[in-house]
Amino acid sequence: MHPVLILILLIAVLLAVSVIRRRPGLLRHPALRPVVIGVLTLGLMYLSTRFHWSILLFGLAPLLPRLWGAFSRAQAARGPTPGSTSRVEAEWLRMTIDHDTGKLDGEVLKGTYRGRGLGSLDRAALLALLAECRGGDSESARLLEAYLDRRLGDDWREEGGGAADDARSAGGGELPMTAAQALQILGLEPGADRDAIVAAHRRLIQKLHPDRGGSSYLAAQINRAKDLLLD
């Protein structure tokens, strides 16, 4: 292949990466992946018949870090795949957050309603569960309050006795958060890089910030998770 054609090919690759960085949604197009794989395969097969592999790799090596970094940023900007969830767990509750809608749901881990889903409990049962949580674990109480705010609005507070902080429920301060818990809260896999962490935090905080009808407790947990993973 003529050196000018090789240069044109490399410029085309860099332009393609630049376009993907500006419009990460293109990565979701179902026809893109097989086309890219096919073009790269044919190109490498063609080049391998005319150049020694070591020469080809030596020439491409300086571009690989930039290409990989651009691809990682584009992947992070794409957002989670449909159906992705985050998980926040306390002694009495395991709460899940749907990334697409910000909807909260969960499972009771302890007490009278152990094994039940929060969605299956009516108002009276939820308030009874809240009283149990306040008597045993303040983290669980705050987590349930976040769910009640999302499902029932503010109406439950007069009947339920206000917020856990106001009720001075048992347990006091927050428990230490581990890296594994932080990843679960942000819905990330181990090894997630800085761009993925920042992108996941941004997506979740937009849905669960108190100013958008979310929960101050969950927003705090999301912020703690980001800070811990970026520390």
pLDDT tens per residue across span 39-59: 666 565 555 555 555 555 555
pTM over 0.85: no
Alpha-carbon gap, residue 23 to 107, rounded angstroms: 38
Q: Write 197-206 long-range contacts (CB < 8 A, 24+).
A: 197/226, 197/229, 197/230, 198/76, 198/226, 198/230, 199/76, 199/77, 199/79, 200/80, 201/225, 201/226, 203/79, 203/80, 203/99, 204/86, 204/97, 204/99, 204/102
Task: Count CB-CB contacts under 10 A for residue 32.
Answer: 12
CA angle 35-36-39, nearest 5°? Answer: 85
- Looking at the chain, the whole-number percentage of residues with pLDDT higher than 70 is 57
Look at residues 129, 96, 92 and name the one whose alpha carbon lies nearest to residue 109.
92
pLDDT tens per residue across span 173-185: 466 889 999 999 9
| Sign of the alpha-carbon dihedral angle for 81, 37, 65, 189 | positive
pLDDT tens per residue across span 126-171: 999 999 999 989 889 999 998 998 888 877 887 766 554 443 333 3
